Amino acid sequence: MSGTWMTTRAWLLMLPLLVVMVAVIGWPLVDTVGLSFTDAKLVGTGGNFVGFDNYANMLSSSNFSRTLVTTTLFAVISVAAEMVIGVLAALLLNQQFHGRAILRALMILPWALPTVVNATLWRLIYNPEYGALNAALTQLHLIDAYRSWLGEPGTALAALIVADCWKNFPLVALIALAALQAVPRDITAASLVDGAGPFNRFRFVILPYLAGPLMVALVLRTIEAFKVFDIIWVMTRGGPANSTRTLSILVYQEAFSFQRAGSGASLALIVTLLVTVLAVAYAALVRKTAGSAA
């Protein structure tokens, strides 16, 4: 068969998928772009054309800048903690010991739980009246009285980060554990014979095999953390005093709670652009890492 026919057949086979993508993603995106240039109050209703006013007002808003800082803090801290905990868990579960298979299975549970269930569990743990965290810290004499961890601006974001890390570190651990299976045993044994310590053995022998897979995990988790909505909405709804409000929650509030659909659409596109920039930057970094490894 000629190359032209093979290319044509490939496109014909992909045609149903392309139609579905245009219907599910393309048209709503075009509709959102059009909506962002209007002062529509409700989604699905018309409005007057206002040009780039929605974008200018949103980018100059103090709410946007504060929310962007909160979102960045949440993403950077949670992803960094998940990467460290995930790699440490993978290194532990890569060792030979009794009950390893059971621990590997149990580690998947937090990640397998639906996010809403995970958020509800942590709300109960943080409960200011009968929460397990307050009870444990009180019995250990680390605090004198029960605290409202989700009700105080100084602790709410940290509490959410802990919950998000518990939910998502197993994904990083699974990716790292799979990569560890590719580390040749003879190289590890040779490093032990040469007297390499644990840190040097990890840095020079194991880490090169983990770099590529961990970069993929970093890309996935950063993008997901940057557009996080569900776990924060269930646990705090962006409070207290908007201290945990992220960009996705601000989009929801603008479009539905405040009934400013045009403004919400413009903010949604700004968030989409930011996530796209992150994805492109990480993709370039992954290619650079893969090229260096090759």
**Do residues 252 and 188 lie in contact, with contact meaning Cβ atoms separated by under 8 Å?**
no
What's the confidence (pLDDT) of residue 194?
67
What's the confidence (pLDDT) of residue 210?
87
Which has the closest alpha carbon to 241: 157, 167, 171? 157
Segment holding 3, helix H or strand E = helix 3-21
What's the confidence (pLDDT) of residue 293?
54
pTM for this predicted structure: 0.87
What's the confidence (pLDDT) of residue 290?
58
| DSSP sequence for 87-113 | HHHHHHHTS--TTHHHHHHHHHHHHHS
| Helix residue spans in 22-152 (DSSP H) | 27-36, 53-59, 62-93, 100-112, 115-125, 132-139
- Write down the domain spans for the chain: 48-293
For 48-293, CATH gives 1.10.3720.10
Q: Kindly give the confidence (pLDDT) of every residue in the chain, 294 residues in length, as a single tens digit, with 9 standing for 90 and above.
A: 556 777 888 888 888 888 888 888 888 888 888 888 988 887 666 778 888 999 999 999 989 999 999 999 999 999 999 999 999 999 999 888 888 889 888 989 999 999 999 999 999 999 999 999 999 999 999 999 899 999 999 999 999 999 999 999 999 999 999 998 888 777 776 777 666 677 778 777 788 888 888 888 888 898 899 989 999 999 999 989 999 999 999 999 998 888 888 999 999 999 989 888 888 887 777 677 656 655
What's the confidence (pLDDT) of residue 29?
85
